[in-house]
């Protein structure tokens, strides 16, 4: 169970960015499966968003109630304080997804 009382990251190395022919997204929901109302009106992040990638090509998404800092806000999904859920959607996934070669990275508790 994920909760907005904690901070989480979802990190993809350059080689582990979701392999799709269209686009991918991560959407955040509250404990009643509703989108989380938040101060920046952001409910999902994905390949169509202007996120900041690391120098090594990796991508980290921050899932937490408070801002991770101005320099990381492009990659921030603001969470509710209670229970939360994430949905990773892959649109037109490549063959390595269907064959089970590619697997999503785990959500890591930071705090």
Q: What is the pLDDT of residue 111?
A: 66
Cα(19)–Cα(94) distance, integer angstroms: 6
Spell out the domains of the chain, with CATH numbers in brackets.
2-101 (2.60.120.600)
**In the prediction, which pLDDT does 1 show?**
87
Give me the DSSP letters along 27-90. Answer: EEEETTSPBPP-TT---EEETTS-PPBPTTS-EEEEEESS---GGGGGGEEEPPSSEEEEEEEE
> pLDDT at position 74, please?
98
What pLDDT score was predicted for residue 85?
96
Instruction: List the pLDDT tens digit at each of the 111 positions of the chain.
Output: 899 999 999 999 999 999 999 999 999 999 999 999 999 999 999 999 999 999 999 999 999 999 999 999 999 999 988 999 999 999 999 999 999 999 999 999 996
Within 8 A by CB and 6+ apart from 39, the residues are 78
């Amino acid at each position: 169970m994920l909760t907005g009382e904690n901070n989480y990251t979802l990190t993809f190395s350059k080689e582990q960015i979701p392999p799709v022919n269209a686009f991918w997204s991560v959407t955040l929901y509250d404990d009643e499966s509703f989108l989380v109302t938040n101060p920046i009106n952001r409910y999902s992040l994905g390949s169509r968003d202007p996120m900041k990638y690391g120098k090594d090509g990796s991508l980290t998404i921050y899932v937490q109630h408070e801002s991770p800092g101005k320099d990381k806000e492009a990659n921030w999904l603001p969470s509710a304080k209670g229970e939360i859920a994430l949905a990773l959607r892959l649109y037109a996934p490549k063959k390595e997804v269907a064959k089970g070669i590619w697997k999503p990275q785990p959500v890591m508790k930071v705090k």
